[in-house]
A and B are shown apart, each in its own frame.
Chain A
Amino acid sequence: MAITRTNIMICVGTGCLATESEKVLKNLELILKARGYDKEVKIIKTGCFGFCEQGPIVKIEPENVFYVRVGPKDAKDIIDEHIIKGRRVERLLYKEPFQNEGIDKQENIPFYKKQLRVALRNCGLVNPEDIYEYIALGGYEALGKAITKMSRDEVIDTVKKSCLRGRGGGGFPTGVKWEIAKAQESQVKFIICNADEGDPGAFMDRSILEGDPHSVLEAMAIGGYAIGSDKGIIYIRAEYPLAISRLKTAISQARELGLLGKNIFDTDFNFDIDIKYGAGAFVCGEETALINSCEGKRGEPNYKPPYPAQEGYWGHPTCVNNVETFANIPSIITKGPEWFTSMGTENSKGTKVFALAGKINNVGLVEVPMGITLREIIYDIGGGIQGGKKFKAVQTGGPSGGVITENELDTPIDYDSLTGIGSMMGSGGMIVMDETDNMVNIAKFYLEFTMDESCGRCTPCRIGTKRLYEMLNKITSGKATMADLDAMKQLSYMVKDGSLCGLGQTAPNPIISTMKHFWNEYVALVTDYDNPQGEGKYEAKNKIGIES
C-alpha cells in the first residue's frame, strides 16, 4: 500500500448517498487528479458516521477536520483550500444552532461527545470494501484468538460473562443462546444473522453492514465455532442493496484470504456464509418467520416451542442473532468480558445503537453506553427539538414499543427500565414527537404499520389490528363515542393476550401507552372534536415525519 500524507474520508452510506455524496466523491477525485495530488492524497470511502442530518460528511485525516453538508461544488474548495493550501474551509464546519463558530474536530461536536462506539467502532473509519483496512485495525484477530487459543466452551463462557444481550429487541443473553445451541446433538447446525431490520425509522443494522461488514462476518464465524456450526446465513432485506453489495464484497474478500472457507487459520474449523434475501416483511424479523422465509416458505411465524435452537432451519438446531449483537462480539473476544461489563448498567452491559428520528435536530445514528438517560440522548446528543418546539414524547421500540413522556426522560436507559416505564428497548428506533403531534395519530401511524405487516396467520392479529385501526380512524374523524374508547382498550389487551407471535403480542402497545399517557387527547377527539384546543394540537391529519 502506498503511503499518503492525507486521507480524505467520505461517507458513502445510504443517508449520505441520498444527499449526493457520490457526486462529491467523483468531483474530489477529478479535481485531485487535475491538480496532480492524487499520489499523495488518498480518498477513502467509508461507512456511516451517524450524523446523517448533516450529510454528506467528509473527514480529513490526520488533521481530524470534520466537514458537514458537503455539496458537489464544495469539492473544489476542499482540494484547493484545505489540501493544497492547508486552510480549513470554515463554512463547511459544523456549527451549533445560534452559534457562529464552526467546530473542526469530530469529538468536539456535541453530537459525538457522549457517544461511545463499540458496535460502530469502525463505521466512518474504515473503507468497508477493503478487508485490509479492517485487518489493520485488529480485524479477524478475535476469530484467530477464538479458534486457535480458546475452546468452544471458553468462547461461550466469555460471551456469557460479558452479559451481552440480544440487540434485536428481545434482550436474551447471547452467551446463553449459544450455549443452548451448542448443547444440541446434531451434525448440522446453522448460525443466522438477522439483518431484516424493519422498524420504521431504524437503520442501525444497515449502517453496520454498510460501514463495517467484516465485523459481522468475523463474529458469525466465532459464533459458528462456538456452537459447532460450519454454515452461516445472513438474512437481509432486499431493500438494502448497498449493504448487500458490501456484504458480498466482504464475503469474497474473506474467502480469498482464507478467513472464511475450509481450515480457517490452519485449524480444522470450516465456516462459510451465504446471503438470503428477504422481501422486506416486518414479521420476518421474528426468528421462526425468518427461518420459514429462508427455507423459501411463506414468511410467517411458527408457535414455539420448539425453539430454533432445537429445531430451526430445515429442522436443524439454529442460532439466530442480530447484526448489532454480532458487531459487539469481536471486541468482547479480544478485550475480554470485563472490558465490556465496565460499560452499562447492572443488568444491561455495553452500549446500544439508536436511530434518532422524528422532530429532533440531529437525526442520525448514535451509540451510547447503557444507562445514559433519554434526556441526554435527546438534548445533548440529539440537539433538542426541531424549531425550538416543546418536547412531547419519544417512542422507543418501534411499532412494538410505547411512548415515553417528559416525566420519564431521566430514566437511565436499559432493557429493564424501558420495560418498566411501559416501552421497550426494541432494536433501537427512537422517534421524537413535539407538541404539535397528536398522540392518537401517532398510535394510528404505528397501528397502520403493524396491521399492514401482520402475516395474517392468527385471528387476533389478522382481524384485531384491523379493527383497532378502524376504531382509531373513527376517533380521529370525530365519530367515536366514549364506549368506543373502552372497546378499543379491551380489544388492545385481547390482541396482546391472544396473538401467536411477538408482532401481534406487541402491536397494541402504542395504543395502550398513548391511552395511558395522553388519555385527554383521546377524550378531546370524542367530546370536543370541532373545537381543537391549541394550534394544530388535535389536527388529526398530520403525519409524523420519519426519515432515515
Chain B
Amino acid sequence: MAGSQKTHEDKKTINVIINDQHLQVPYGISILEASTEAGVRIPTLCHLDLHDIKMVNQTASCRVCMVELVDSKNNRNKLVPACVTTITDGMIIRTDTLRSITARRTSVELLLSNHPNECFTCPKNTDCELQALAAELGIRKIRWEGERMNYPKDISSDALVKDSNKCIYCRRCETMCNEVQTCGILSGISRGFNAFVGPAFNIPMVESSCTYCGQCVQVCPTAALTEVNHSDKVWEALNDPDKHVIVQTAPAIRVALGELFGMDPGTIVTGKMVTALKRLGFDAVFDTDFGADLTIMEEASELIYRIQNNGTLPILTSCCPAWVKFIEHQFPELLKIPSTCKSPHIMFGTIAKTYYAKKNGIDPDNIVVVSIMPCIAKKAEAKRPELTKDEHNNVDIVVTTRELGAIIKEAGIKFEDLPESEYDRPLGETTGASVIFGTTGGVIEAAIRTAHEWITGKELENVEFNQLRGSDGLRKATVQIGDKELKIGIASGLGNARALLEEIREEKDKYDAIEIMACPGGCIAGGGQPYHHGNYEIVKKRQDAIYEEDRNKKLRKSHENPEILKLYKEYIGEPYGETAHKLLHTHYEERERI
C-alpha cells in the first residue's frame, strides 16, 4: 500500500524545516536522509544502510538518532527516531534541543553502563562504532551504573568469536545473516536486560550451520563478533629457527591492506605488502594467485571434461569455503555439482608441502604455510579434516587482512613509506586471471579465458568479458565459445546463491557454469577485510583496483603462467589427471541444518 503511494508521488518534493533550515526534499525519505541533505549530522548506531547489497538495518532499536518533532498546534513535541521516520510535508524537526540531546546521551550512557570496560584490550579498540559515538557525544560520565551482562565467550569455532557481553543488540548481524545471507543462524535470544544475539538455543557456533562468511563480523559495530585471532601463531612461527615459514597473500588483500594505514580505498599496495612480509621475516613470500592459476587449470579442465563427457552441468566454482559450507548444510542434494577443486590457498599449501619442499630439500613437517586472507571462513576451512590429512596441514595458519595490518604495525614497519618488491619465485609467478579471483565474477572470467583457448584452440584476443563483470548480487550472461554458447550464472552473497541454487534444483533454468561467492561483492568485501563501516563505495573502489591490477599484468591467462606449466611438467602431469586428483581435488559432505 505504502509502496504504491510512494511510486505514485515519486517525483514530488515536500517542504521540511530542520533546525530552522527550510528545505525541499524528495517525497518518502527519512528524517535521517533529509538531515544529511541539510548538512546536519544525526548520530546513529544500529542503523546501517547497505543499499548496494539491498540491506538496510532498520530496527530503530538503539534510540541514538532521536530528534524532536515540533507539534506547535497541540504544543506537544515528541521524540522520534530519525532513521525510520518518514518526512511528511511541513514537518518541523529539531535535532539540537536539550530533550533530543539528552535522549541520545542517555541511550549511549545506558549502553556503556552494560558494556565491558575493556577498550584497551578489545579487538575493536579505535575501530569501534560505540567507542566513536561516545567520543562524538562527549560522554564523560555514566550516570547509571549497574549489573552488566555476563555470558561466557563462544570460542567454539576456528573462525569467529562471539562475545555477547559486547552485544549492543543493534541486530545488524541478524539482518545480515537472515536477510542478505539467508543462513538464519543469528537471532535475538532471551529478553529484556539479558537479550543478545546468537544461534538458536544459544548452541555453540561450531554446532550451528554457520558458514563463517564473516559478514556479521563486518557489520558488527562493537567486538561482539570478531575473527579468531591467530597473529600470535604467526609471531611464534617466525621466531622458530627450525621452521621454514612461507606466506601467501590472497588476491583481495593488495587492494585493501593500505586502508589500514590511512591510504585511500582502492590503493594497490602489492609491492609494499611483499616488502613488509619480507621484513617481517618470512622465508618466502608467495602469492595465492599462483594457487588461483592452478585452480583454473583444474577447473577449466573439469568444465571441459564435464561438457565433453555429458557430465553434471552446471559446474560450480569451489573457491569460497563459506559457500561450500553453505551448500553442504542447505543444499546437500546438490553436492554433485560443485567442482571438486580445492580452494586456491589450500592448493597452494599442498604444492608448498610437496613440490616446493621436494625441490628445495625441506622437510614438509618443518614448513609452516601462512595464508593472508580477506576471509574468516578460510580459518575454519584450513582445519577441515579432509584438508589436514597426511599428518600435516596443507595450510597451518590463516590470518585476515586486519590481522596482518596489526602485525605490520606491531613490528614497527612504516607501511606507507615502504619500497616495493616482487614476490619470490617460483610460487610467486602469477597472471591477471588469478588476480580477479578477488572480485565477484573473477573466477568464472579466469576460467572462461582458459577454457575458451583450450576449446577453440585459438588465441583469445580480448580477455575482458564485460558481461561477467558488475556488482549486482545475481547476474546471468552467455559466452560464445566456438559454436557453443555457455550460459553462466554469477552470485555473490549467500541469499543470491540460494536463489540460484533453487533455480537449479527446480530446473527452472539451465546453466553450464556458475560462480558463487559468499560475500556480497566477492572477496574484496570479505569478513576479514578492513571494516567498511557501512560505506560500500570502499568495496567498489577495491573492485576497480582489482581490474586495474589485472590490466597491469603481462600474462592474463592462467595457462600461460610459465611456473604453472613447469609444475605440471615436472610434478603433476596432466591437468585433471591422476596426480592432480590426489593433490588438488577434494570432496564434500552432507551437513545438518540447524
Cβ A498 vs Cβ B2 within 8 A? no
Cβ A462 vs Cβ B195 within 8 A? yes
Complex CA gap A82/B123 in Å reads 81
The digit string for B103-130, where 1 denotes a CB below 8 A from any CB of A, is 1001100110110000000000000000
Task: State the interface size on chain B (CB cutoff 8 A).
Answer: 37
User: Could you say which of B60, B66, B187, B191 has the most chain A C-beta atoms within 10 Å of its C-beta?
Assistant: B191
Residue of B nearest to A302 (CB): B60
Least Cβ distance of A183 to chain B in Å?
Answer: 10
Complex CA gap A459/B104 in Å reads 10
CB within 8 A of B60: which of A454, A455, A470, A500? A500
Cβ B81 vs Cβ A460 within 8 A? no
The digit string for A476-510, where 1 denotes a CB below 8 A from any CB of B, is 00000000000100110010011110000000000
Chain A residues in 8 Å Cβ range of B169: 456-457, 459, 462
Residue of B nearest to A298 (CB): B188
Task: Given A456-B169, A497-B103, decide whether A466 and B193 contact each other with a Cβ distance below 8 A.
Answer: yes
B62 within 8 A of A: yes
Task: Given A487-B144, A498-B66, decide whether A185 and B1 contact each other with a Cβ distance below 8 A.
Answer: yes
The digit string for A427-471, where 1 denotes a CB below 8 A from any CB of B, is 000000000000000000000000111111111101111110011
A281 within 8 A of B: yes
Complex CA gap A3/B58 in Å reads 64
Least Cβ distance of B173 to chain A in Å?
Answer: 15
Cβ B110 vs Cβ A463 within 8 A? yes
Residue of B nearest to A459 (CB): B107
Least Cβ distance of B169 to chain A in Å?
Answer: 6
Least Cβ distance of B230 to chain A in Å?
Answer: 33
Chain B residues in 8 Å Cβ range of A342: none
Chain B residues in 8 Å Cβ range of A311: 1-2
Chain B residues in 8 Å Cβ range of A500: 60-61, 63, 81
Residue of A nearest to B194 (CB): A456
Complex CA gap A454/B1 in Å reads 31
Chain B residues in 8 Å Cβ range of A490: 143
Cβ A463 vs Cβ B193 within 8 A? yes
Chain B residues in 8 Å Cβ range of A186: 1
Chain A residues in 8 Å Cβ range of B7: none
A184 within 8 A of B: yes
Cβ A453 vs Cβ B192 within 8 A? yes
Cβ A310 vs Cβ B63 within 8 A? no
Cβ A463 vs Cβ B111 within 8 A? yes
Cβ B1 vs Cβ A303 within 8 A? no
Chain A residues in 8 Å Cβ range of B59: 457
Task: Given A310-B2, A457-B169, A463-B110, decide whether A298 and B62 contact each other with a Cβ distance below 8 A.
Answer: no
Residue of A nearest to B188 (CB): A298
Least Cβ distance of B76 to chain A in Å?
Answer: 12
Cβ A456 vs Cβ B188 within 8 A? yes
B13 within 8 A of A: no
Chain B residues in 8 Å Cβ range of A471: 144
Cβ A310 vs Cβ B107 within 8 A? no
Complex CA gap A227/B589 in Å reads 53
Task: Given A455-B192, A462-B195, decide whether A494 and B2 contact each other with a Cβ distance below 8 A.
Answer: no
Task: Given A457-B61, A459-B111, decide whether A467 and B146 contact each other with a Cβ distance below 8 A.
Answer: yes
Complex CA gap A317/B59 in Å reads 21
Within 8 A of A (CB), among B72-103: 79, 81, 84, 86, 99, 102-103
Cβ A310 vs Cβ B103 within 8 A? no
A367 within 8 A of B: no
Chain B residues in 8 Å Cβ range of A465: 192-193
B147 within 8 A of A: yes
Complex CA gap A467/B111 in Å reads 11
Chain A residues in 8 Å Cβ range of B1: 184-186, 306, 310-311, 317
Residue of A nearest to B102 (CB): A494
Cβ A499 vs Cβ B110 within 8 A? no
Residue of A nearest to B45 (CB): A459
Chain A residues in 8 Å Cβ range of B61: 457-459, 500
B312 within 8 A of A: no
Task: Given A186-B1, A303-B81, decide whether A458 and B191 contact each other with a Cβ distance below 8 A.
Answer: no
B190 within 8 A of A: yes
Chain A residues in 8 Å Cβ range of B86: 305
Cβ A498 vs Cβ B79 within 8 A? yes
Chain A residues in 8 Å Cβ range of B99: 497
Task: Given A281-B191, A451-B193, decide whether A458 and B2 contact each other with a Cβ distance below 8 A.
Answer: no
The digit string for A408-420, where 1 denotes a CB below 8 A from any CB of B, is 0000000000000
Complex CA gap A451/B113 in Å reads 16
User: Could you say which of B107, B147, B192 has the most chain A C-beta atoms within 10 Å of its C-beta?
Assistant: B192
A300 within 8 A of B: yes
Task: Given A310-B2, A494-B102, A498-B107, decide whether A455 and B195 contact each other with a Cβ distance below 8 A.
Answer: yes
CB within 8 A of B146: which of A317, A452, A470? A470
Cβ A464 vs Cβ B110 within 8 A? yes
The digit string for B160-174, where 1 denotes a CB below 8 A from any CB of A, is 000000001100000
Cβ A454 vs Cβ B106 within 8 A? no
Complex CA gap A467/B102 in Å reads 17
Within 8 A of A (CB), among B129-144: 143-144
User: Could you say which of A452, A463, A499 has the most chain B C-beta atoms within 10 Å of its C-beta?
Assistant: A463
Chain B residues in 8 Å Cβ range of A298: 187-188
Residue of B nearest to A184 (CB): B1
Cβ B192 vs Cβ A306 within 8 A? no
CB within 8 A of A458: which of B63, B102, B143, B194? B63
Least Cβ distance of B257 to chain A in Å?
Answer: 35
Cβ A459 vs Cβ B63 within 8 A? yes
Least Cβ distance of A185 to chain B in Å?
Answer: 7
Least Cβ distance of B576 to chain A in Å?
Answer: 48
Least Cβ distance of B403 to chain A in Å?
Answer: 31
Complex CA gap A437/B283 in Å reads 78
Within 8 A of A (CB), among B165-201: 168-169, 187-188, 190-195
Complex CA gap A186/B4 in Å reads 12
Task: Given A454-B193, A500-B61, decide whether A459 and B188 contact each other with a Cβ distance below 8 A.
Answer: no
Complex CA gap A538/B81 in Å reads 41
Least Cβ distance of B534 to chain A in Å?
Answer: 19
Residue of B nearest to A300 (CB): B188
Cβ B2 vs Cβ A460 within 8 A? no
Complex CA gap A458/B60 in Å reads 8
Residue of A nearest to B59 (CB): A457
Complex CA gap A100/B187 in Å reads 63
Cβ B110 vs Cβ A467 within 8 A? yes
Chain B residues in 8 Å Cβ range of A459: 61-64, 107, 110-111, 168-169
Complex CA gap A457/B193 in Å reads 9
CB within 8 A of B190: which of A306, A456, A457, A498? A456
Residue of A nearest to B170 (CB): A459
CB within 8 A of A466: which of B63, B79, B107, B192? B192
Least Cβ distance of A181 to chain B in Å?
Answer: 12
Complex CA gap A466/B145 in Å reads 10
Complex CA gap A409/B64 in Å reads 41
User: Could you say which of A300, A454, A459, A498 has the most chain B C-beta atoms within 10 Å of its C-beta?
Assistant: A459
Cβ B146 vs Cβ A303 within 8 A? no
Complex CA gap A291/B143 in Å reads 36
Residue of B nearest to A450 (CB): B192
Least Cβ distance of B113 to chain A in Å?
Answer: 6
Task: Given A184-B1, A498-B106, decide whether A491 and B144 contact each other with a Cβ distance below 8 A.
Answer: yes
CB within 8 A of A454: which of B84, B113, B114, B191? B191
6 A-B pairs with least C-beta separation: A456-B195, A454-B192, A463-B110, A466-B193, A467-B144, A494-B106
Add 20 more A-B contacts to A306-B1, A460-B107, A463-B110 (CB < 8 A).
A184-B1, A305-B2, A311-B1, A317-B1, A456-B188, A458-B60, A459-B62, A459-B110, A459-B111, A460-B63, A462-B169, A463-B114, A465-B192, A470-B146, A470-B147, A471-B144, A491-B106, A497-B66, A497-B79, A498-B107
Interface residues of A (CB under 8 A from B): 184-186, 281, 298, 300, 303, 305-306, 310-311, 317, 451-460, 462-467, 470-471, 487, 490-491, 494, 497-500
Give 7 pairs: A residue, B residue, CB < 8 Å, sorted on A. Answer: A459-B61, A459-B62, A463-B113, A464-B106, A465-B193, A487-B144, A500-B60
